[in-house]
Structure 1
Amino acid sequence: MIIMKKITNILNRLLKGIPAVKEQSRINNDIEELSLPEILPHKEICKEKKVVHFSAFNYGNAGDVILPINVKDSIEYGLDYEYDWRSIHAHKYVDDKIVELANSSNGIIIGGGGLFLKDTNPNNNSGWQWNCSVDQLKKINVPIALFAVGYNRFRNQADFEPVFKEHLNILAEKSTFLGLRNYGSIEMIKNYLHPENFEKLRYQPCPTTIISMLYPDNVNIVKRNSEEKFIALNCAFDRTQLRFGEKIGNILTSIAKVVKVLSKDYKIKYYSHMPSDNYFIPFLDSFGIKYELMHIKTPIEIIEEYSKPSLVIGMRGHSQMIPFGCKTPILSIISHEKMGWFLKDINRSEWGSEVTNPDFENDLLEKAIYLLNNKNIVIEDITNIQETFFNITMDNVSEIRKIYDL
């Protein structure tokens, strides 16, 4: 009775919608160097080679914790030194001091992550998360590249403000390339670009998808020593009305029913990327499912924990891409187009289940059982796809190094 009352209260709140997380109130406009945690051993810094990096550095969301480091390590892959990076939050207004800092560098990297979103950092300067006005953008005179940025607009979400189109086209004209993390994003961004700027669009997979190639020792050691048989689960609750609509209760109940069946043969761990993910916990409790709640926070923990499961059933983009990068089988719960776009890019749509499917529950269960029963084949499949992603990434990195004189 207590659990059901809790579920009812949660559903009522979710139906009203959880507002987007807005971070600008915590970001001042002093130039500050964000200190990134490291995964690889520190190397000597080459002070003559400077890079200014704008990203959604976030220590409350597991995906955004590890992603900026993966970007840096991809661009420095194979070097015996590090570039001199200046890390600036994408939400910080790009004032004259930041423009001056950028213009004294070899170039700018923006990304990765779903930065093409209007409501996480609402502003009239660009219309998306990089808070650089058109006038300030015109003052930048060094190379710029987007690296694994995503078009993150939700289903039925209001379109971008008019300034977005103007800003995007000026950015394209000034950029080395606009590296987007899936072909779905590329197609959507074409709707805002002038045709003559299409040539600047470039496919750049999210570097989280090649984690095992960037950090092979971290992944391989865990896989050799991990004997526990379990399924990891993650659900997302930002913008719930856009994700689920009025059928949110049915969808979440279906997920819990599937997990209940799978829990007969596999231990369940719930991977929480951020506090709002925990809204699913009462659904697990209501079905009497035994589970372990995991809060994964540091980059090393993220790699280790996503290298262990037999299968990850995930709703967040990075609960899809990080385990894939760790050579762990994935089953994506598709409540946002980006999840399907990734699977389409790798020609593995069968690794996802669409929440709008009238037979969602059975579909999710059947696909989970298939992936668990064919784990080794799936891992081999992931390994081959990763090699393609790695080669694409290194080609793009080579171009950046050449144009930036790095």
Structure 2
Amino acid sequence: MTTTLSTPATALPATAAHDLTGKRRIAFASYVDENYLPGFLVLLRSLALSNPSVCEDFVVLYDDLRPGSIAKIHALHPRIVLRRVNAEHYDSYKKGDQDNYLVRKAYFILDVFRIREYDTIITLDTDMVVLGDLGELLKLREGLAAVPQFFYGQHKLNSGLLVIQREYLSDEFCAKLDATGRSGDYELDKHDQGILNAVLNGDFVRLDARYNFVKRRLSGDLPVPEDTAILHFTGRHKPWQGGESGYTQAEDRWREFQMSDAEFHAAYLNSSGGLHHDLLVHYGTPHVRRTGNVEYARKVAAAHIAAGDYQDAVDILSSVRIPLDEAWPHEVLGHALMSVSRYEEAKAQLLLATAAPNRAATAYARLAQMAWVHGDNAEALTYATAGLAVDPTHRSSRLWAQRAASVPAQELGAPEDQLAHVAFYMDRQGNAGDKLLPETVRLGFGADTTSRRWHSVHAHRLFDKAALERVNARRGLVIGGGGLFIPDTMPNGNSAWQWNVPDEHLRAIDVPIMVYAVGFNAFDGQSYRAGRFRESLRLLVEKSAFFGLRNHGSIAKVRAMLPPHLQDKVRFQPCPTTVSRQLVPGWTDPSYREDTVLLNAAYDRAGLRFGHDYGHFLAEMAKAVRAIGAHTEVRCVAHSLDDEKIAFDLRREHGISLPVIPMYDFDNDEIRDLYAKTRLVIGMRGHAGMIPFGVGTPIVSLISHPKMAYFLADIERPEWGVSVHDKNLGAVLTERAIDILDHHAATVADVHERQQSLWKVTEANAADIRAILGA
């Protein structure tokens, strides 16, 4: 625990986000040829309609598909991955009929075991139709799973559906398949299935028969059981070839999905439950183009907004004629226009939406937001009050009313003595980490964090000419306090990141600009799609006298977006919260610590954080909480209201009750004090790691976002993190937490040593900044 921390490297190799977060990569796969293409197209439609919220990569193994056939496949799924099989590889296998082309092709699905890009692959035969929810298959984490053969007992599997985990997607397992195939030591008439059964010898995870319900079980025209998830048309006679007598009811279920594109698109858009963004956009866009349907256009636009594709939302809703009395489409279009900074057009759309009682409160809240963005608190309060008059419980209207009614503190200092400070200034009961950040950034420039020395510029307000004049009257401009390089918290079309600054006003700033400890905060699965962001970022780097990012992962991401001559301007500046012990005036380390462990979990963008693994995460956390709780009291610490969900879910699902600490109600000193006086913090939010670390408290990070891994890499302690997707999360977390608690003094000393390296970087940067400011 006394390893010396060297200065972190100036660049990190490009690392995929899922390699940092441990998020499982899942894919479906099928072997498809021209003869079975009609079955595969039905399979794709049935998968989408039966599981409308599921969209994973679909690997198509093929050897002879025509371009037109490939186009049909792409039209039915947005994430098709084509992979040509190595057909000759299987010619060396001994087969029951070496010259039958169908027998030869039966082995090609085994190429799936040669794929290395995924953690879980679910194979589906092309003579299957999906009738029910496959969620349980997506959650499987162990072994190779399949349904036992109907006619041969539990020892052998039916290979029509396989759920394959990474340990089988290996050269070692492929070698076993090849050895068995070439030896012929298997049931030759069972082809790929015979090889798998010979190699596995009964060692597979048994799935319920409803996941591979073979047609033969319905002989005599029996109805398909209601709970059937996948119906498999085994045998020679396929539904698209005319079918087989005695299976009418089964084949009718297959034909439910034999439909035109127009019928299929409409059926998907009318599906109940959550619709996956990729599928909704893929099917909805051509359907809107074909029909001009306003309701479908609204659904597609809303999906674009949820993914941060605001211009796409504007485009699709602008392509249809919205009747004056259709409030919801007007409100969604207003939201999209506001998000690309077309404010006057947005206002017109939102005013139209206020005419309908069911959309009025939301529309008024957005109008209040726009007025606030433009600095008109009086108008913002008027709109927010109107929203509350429609719906007194409307949370967004209430928040905007509170923000508009707040009176900014009177500035005490003279402009020429102040620094302007662009930051995300968090509201009361907002995220505790973001509440603490602006003050801590200011501490990096001196002990006085008040308006005597600082002029506040809220990042989310439009940086207009008046704001420009106020900034240019100051000594300099500091930008920092929040993960400002993220596209969707408060979107705008001027910069496409959190500071709502037009290029012309950024160019006109004539005082030194210092970007200080900003983070690149995109999640795994989230991206900046607009060229606008790159252009604004480039201009910001050009204009900055100091450009410091809070971790080397962010540095690598930002440098990749810049031309070579600007890349070296991007330097490392740790988040000041990580060195709070050095910055807070009069800081003293606590004389005692409470015998507690504080647990934080985050739920914003939960789909990006957890994928299909939330149930697994919760169950593993229950194991860890019980085990750690046997040593030390575990309490839930909530940075925001949503963070309390883990306490509710642990109690409801696992009977565990945790005290909840509402940190969102704390002031900055209380936040630091609480974290300084506990023995360990287990946190999922970035600042549930960095703040306790900064006050000298050991941490274990629950990694669901790349930035957590970035920070641990910078302090050379990756073992202080564990992925929320880790198969053995509960055991790993318990082991690391107990080890820290058992060696607490040594770990605290290690935290102090890690911090000292970050402080040296901060001090060196501070000297450069003083020179820039002439101080």
Asked if the contact 2:620–2:728 (Cα under 8 Å) also holds between the matched residues in 1, the reply is no
- The residue matched to 1:331 in structure 2 has which SS? strand
Task: Report the Cα offset of residue 218 of structure 1.
Answer: 4.5
Aligned residue among 482, 492, 500 for 1:113: 482
Is 1:292 the counterpart of 2:631 in the alignment? Answer: no
Distance 2:371 2:712 in 1: 35
Q: Which residue of the partner structure matches residue 73 of structure 1?
A: 443
Aligned residue among 63, 67, 70 for 2:433: 63
Alignment of 1:176-191 (within 5 A): 176-191=545-560
Is 1:205 the counterpart of 2:585 in the alignment? Answer: no
Asked if the contact 1:329–1:378 (Cα under 8 Å) also holds between the matched residues in 2, the reply is yes
Task: Report the Cα offset of residue 104 of structure 1.
Answer: 1.1
- The residue matched to 1:291 in structure 2 has which SS? coil
Aligned residue among 658, 673, 677 for 1:304: 673
Asked if the contact 2:463–2:501 (Cα under 8 Å) also holds between the matched residues in 1, the reply is yes
Is 1:270 the counterpart of 2:636 in the alignment? Answer: yes
Distance 2:757 2:451 in 1: 25
Single out whichever of 138-147 and 353-362 deviates more from structure 2. 353-362
Distance 1:26 1:281 in 2: 37
- The residue matched to 1:63 in structure 2 has which SS? helix
Distance 1:193 1:317 in 2: 25
Q: Which residue of the partner structure matches residue 251 of structure 1?
A: 617
Task: Report the Cα offset of residue 385 of structure 1.
Answer: 1.8
Q: Which residue of the partner structure matches residue 418 of structure 2?
A: 50
Single out whichever of 163-172 and 388-397 deviates more from structure 2. 388-397
Distance 1:160 1:257 in 2: 40
Q: Give per-residue Cα distances to partners, 1:156-207, cap 9 Å, x unaligned.
A: 1133411111111111111012110000000011121111101210100001
Aligned residue among 701, 706, 711 for 1:337: 706
- The residue matched to 1:159 in structure 2 has which SS? coil
Distance 1:270 1:81 in 2: 32
Q: Which residue of the partner structure matches residue 494 of structure 2?
A: 125
Asked if the contact 1:183–1:341 (Cα under 8 Å) also holds between the matched residues in 2, the reply is yes
**Residue 88 of structure 1 aligns to which amino acid in structure 2?**
V
Q: Give per-residue Cα distances to partners, 1:87-142, cap 9 Å, x unaligned.
A: 11111111000111111111110003211000011111111101101122111111
Distance 2:766 2:610 in 1: 38
Distance 1:225 1:368 in 2: 19
Q: Structure 1 residues 64, 251: CA separation in 2 closer, same or farther (over 3 Å shift)?
A: same
Q: TM-score, normalised by structure 1?
A: 0.87
Asked if the contact 1:267–1:291 (Cα under 8 Å) also holds between the matched residues in 2, the reply is no
Distance 2:409 2:760 in 1: 29
Aligned residue among 588, 595, 601 for 1:229: 595
Q: Which residue of the partner structure matches residue 313 of structure 1?
A: 682
Q: Which residue of the partner structure matches residue 165 of structure 1?
A: 534
- The residue matched to 2:545 in structure 1 has which SS? strand
Q: Which residue of the partner structure matches residue 136 of structure 1?
A: 505
**Residue 568 of structure 2 aligns to which amino acid in structure 1?**
E
The number of aligned residues is: 383
Q: Give per-residue Cα distances to partners, 1:187-235, cap 9 Å, x unaligned.
A: 0111211111012101000011111112264552xx2144x20100000
Distance 1:211 1:35 in 2: 25
Q: Structure 1 residues 34, 72: CA separation in 2 closer, same or farther (over 3 Å shift)?
A: farther
Asked if the contact 2:600–2:684 (Cα under 8 Å) also holds between the matched residues in 1, the reply is yes
Alignment of 1:317-328 (within 5 A): 317-328=686-697
Q: Which residue of the partner structure matches residue 29 of structure 1?
A: 374
Aligned-pair RMSD on alpha carbons?
Answer: 2.8
Aligned residue among 620, 627, 640 for 1:261: 627
Q: Structure 1 residues 247, 346: CA separation in 2 closer, same or farther (over 3 Å shift)?
A: same
Distance 2:678 2:592 in 1: 12
Task: Report the Cα offset of residue 28 of structure 1.
Answer: 3.7
In terms of fraction of residues, the more strand-rich structure is 1
Q: Which residue of the partner structure matches residue 749 of structure 2?
A: 380
Asked if the contact 2:413–2:452 (Cα under 8 Å) also holds between the matched residues in 1, the reply is yes
Asked if the contact 1:27–1:91 (Cα under 8 Å) also holds between the matched residues in 2, the reply is no
Distance 2:667 2:307 in 1: 23
Q: Structure 1 residues 63, 112: CA separation in 2 closer, same or farther (over 3 Å shift)?
A: same
**Residue 375 of structure 2 aligns to which amino acid in structure 1?**
D
**Residue 187 of structure 1 aligns to which amino acid in structure 2?**
A
**Residue 369 of structure 1 aligns to which amino acid in structure 2?**
I
Asked if the contact 1:243–1:335 (Cα under 8 Å) also holds between the matched residues in 2, the reply is yes
**Residue 691 of structure 2 aligns to which amino acid in structure 1?**
I
Asked if the contact 2:541–2:569 (Cα under 8 Å) also holds between the matched residues in 1, the reply is yes
**Residue 583 of structure 2 aligns to which amino acid in structure 1?**
L
Q: Structure 1 residues 35, 327: CA separation in 2 closer, same or farther (over 3 Å shift)?
A: farther
User: Percent identity at matched positions?
Assistant: 37
| 5+ long unaligned stretches in structure 1 | 1-11, 37-43
Distance 1:312 1:34 in 2: 34
